[in-house]
Amino acid sequence: MKLIEALKLARRPVPETARETKIFLACGFTPLHLQAFLTAEMRVRMPEYRITINTGLFGDLCGNIERIDPNGIDFLAVVVEWGDFDPRLALRTLGGWRPSQMGDILESATRTAARLKSGLTAASHSVPTIVCMPTLPLPPMFSCSPAQAGAAETQLRHIAASLALSLSQESGIRVVNGQALDEVSPLNGRYDLKSDVLTGFPYTLPHASAIGEALSTLIQNRPPKKGLITDLDDTLWSGILGEVGVERISWHLDAHTQMHGLYQQFLASLSGVGVLIGVASKNDSAVVEQAFTRKDLLLSKDDVFPIEVHWSRKSESVERILKAWNIGADSVIFIDDSPMEVAEVKTAFPEMECLAFPKNDYDEFWKLLRHLREVFGKSMLTADDAIRLRSIRDASAWRDASQSRKNSHDDFLKAAEACVFFESAQPDGDARAFELLNKTNQFNLNGKRFSESEWRSFVKDPAAFVLTVSYKDKFGLLGKIAVILGRTSGRVAHVSGWVMSCRAFSRRIEHQCLKYLFETLEADEITLDYQLTPRNGPLQEFLTELLGETPGETVRLSKEQFASKLPPLFHRLEGIVHV
Amino acid sequence: MSDQENRLIRCFESVFPGLSAEEIRGTGAQSEGIWDSLAAVTLAAVIQEEFNLDIDPEILPELNSFEAFRSYLTRMIPETVNGNS
């Protein structure tokens, strides 16, 4: 982005209704054009927000971080440069570069790194924090030629890398990936000595633009896609299974089909972080079953659900897979080597990203893997990511058993041996609860989405309650499936948010949630900030059943009214918490 | 109006968004409340990027009005007959 475009974007009018997002940009140099680029990138990524960027004092990065009032900002963006570790590493300071001073510079850099770690960790407990580690070349101050990595220079890089490592392990901190920045901003085009000396701004405009983009990407933290549906023949493996047989399909170097092995390996890694992997293949199901028994497959059958194998249209398979996963087509990527199949699925699901597997094009294959990592990348993993596929399988088994039952629904629920766990959300914001609140559509009280900072503030509010609900039964573990939040006032509990995963429907968990609130909060009445959305029909049906009428905007439910409508509950309660 | 002058006006507009083209032509360091040091540095950066120039810091203080920039550009990038630089 050019500076002139950034300035225009930054000043584009904002809708009256826009919510304000405050970013504190902390850096040791004068932020000048970086502020303009960051504002512009944020306006592009979050047009529904009014972006305000404040900055601190020039030359005092640590102090700026330590003085931050986290309650007054929504995000902290920190840009570290070598001069922040020790002023002698910057070119505006004349402090000496004698070899005898290197030891002192290294000691000073180590102390500053510890101070930055402490300040950033403390800030990140209150506000989402994005950090960009030094991106400029070190000055030519070392005794070795620039071609050689000397001990002092390597030690400095080690100090910065150690700091980046420890920061990247903090749940509230996201560190800009230097490799991604290297790809868009070559090292020799980053530093502007004239600008640094004359104005205190060290970056060339293209590099400032690249940093603004990198920071805004991590601030926005776009939710990842949830599922990938793949073809088998000439995609997951090389060869047409029905023609060459199980033994002749391949994905190895010696058969020159390594990229299919890499693709399997990649899908297995996605599965490991909770991305749903499904198969849609026109094939003989018995032969596919046999193919999945091959021990050298890098993607296990256990990593995949459902496997749709038949001779019907691919779009029919995709429809069934989406139903089993119960997620929208816009959250899924479809991959097939046949452009015709890609087009057929795209026509049926225009909102789905449908990609052709580039079976003979290594460059395109490399781009595909990178693109998939970009759309499925998660800033952090939760415990529920690891059990997501199992949970969906278990929910499917539950549905099958429920539909084929011979006795009453009550008897079925009783025999399910269900346990419900209530917990207060973790003080650091509870990433899984945050994810549920921002992605659940069907059982959602009002469709309200939370920004990271709004969510953290709510969790920390002593007047608020934020409960998470987990579930398991004899069919398996569903994990954390619901979140309820609100405030109490006397003997009234005001519920302002309530979501539940569709996997958990038909088990009366929603009834258990209200019962739990009445009992634990000793409430006589619960009010719910209900709002009809285009997709929250199941929640509306539940409330209609309880109230005996279609709910209005604020729903009031007395203890007696609820008791009169409460069906038998068979859950065992565990992890009781007092909210 | 030449293409170069149009581009220069667009640069000024990005830094002084409230001003009309006519007002921009009369803008300079004497324009109170508008032309501060931040605006001057930003304007120089925008113009250097737009015209692919490297302005000598020695003469930067002299570039203190629209007219000064216009004549500087005319000297540095003479326009071709069809109006493009």
Q: Is B15 on the interface with A (CB under 8 A)?
A: yes
The pLDDT score that the predictor gives to residue A427 is 64
Give B-chain residues touching A33 at CB under 8 angstroms.
Answer: 42, 45
- Whether A296 and A253 have beta carbons less than 8 Å apart is answered as no
Residue A331 gets which letter from DSSP?
A: G
Chain A residue closest to B40 (CA)? Answer: A199
- Does the pLDDT value for residue A322 go beyond 50? yes
pLDDT in tens, A459-510: 888 889 999 999 988 888 888 999 999 999 999 999 999 999 888 888 999 9
- Does the pLDDT value for residue A534 go beyond 60? yes
Q: Do B49 and A205 touch (CB under 8 A)?
A: yes
Residue type, A467: L
The pLDDT score that the predictor gives to residue A428 is 67
B31-60 residues touching A, CB cutoff 8 A: 38, 41-42, 45-46, 49-50, 54, 57
- Whether A51 and A60 have beta carbons less than 8 Å apart is answered as no
- Does the pLDDT value for residue A548 go beyond 80? yes
Q: Kindly indicate the confidence band of residue B81, based on its pLDDT and cuts at 50, 70 and 90.
A: very low
As a whole number of angstroms, the distance between CA A487 and CA A467 comes to 11
As a whole number of angstroms, the distance between CA A332 and CA A228 comes to 5
Q: Is A194 on the interface with B (CB under 8 A)?
A: yes
As a whole number of angstroms, the distance between CA A70 and CA B21 comes to 42
Structure tokens at A33: 């054009």
The pLDDT score that the predictor gives to residue A124 is 93
Angstrom CA distances, A510 to A43, A470, A505, A542, A571, stand at 39, 12, 8, 8, 12
Chain B residue closest to A3 (CA)? Answer: B46
The pLDDT score that the predictor gives to residue A577 is 57
ipTM: 0.86
Angle between helices A32-45 and B37-51 (to 10 degrees): 70
As a whole number of angstroms, the distance between CA A547 and CA A556 comes to 9
- Whether A487 and A465 have beta carbons less than 8 Å apart is answered as yes
Q: Do A2 and B50 touch (CB under 8 A)?
A: yes
The pLDDT score that the predictor gives to residue A575 is 67
Phi, psi of B37 (to 5 degrees): -65, -35
The pLDDT score that the predictor gives to residue B70 is 93
Q: Mean per-residue pLDDT for A514-518?
A: 94
The beta strands (E) that lie in A321-418 are given as: 332-336, 353-356
- Does the pLDDT value for residue B80 go beyond 60? no
In chain A, % of residues over pLDDT 90? 74
Structure tokens at B63: 């570039």
Helix (H, G, I), strand (E, B) or coil at A230: strand
- Does the pLDDT value for residue B82 go beyond 60? no
- Whether A35 and A6 have beta carbons less than 8 Å apart is answered as no
> Which residue among B17, B46, B49 sits closest to A11, beta carbon to beta carbon?
B17
The pLDDT score that the predictor gives to residue A190 is 98
Q: Do B49 and A2 touch (CB under 8 A)?
A: yes
Place of tokens 């996997």: A503
As a whole number of angstroms, the distance between CA A86 and CA A106 comes to 8
Structure tokens at A501: 């995963």
The beta strands (E) that lie in A49-166 are given as: 49-55, 75-79, 129-132
The pLDDT score that the predictor gives to residue B83 is 45
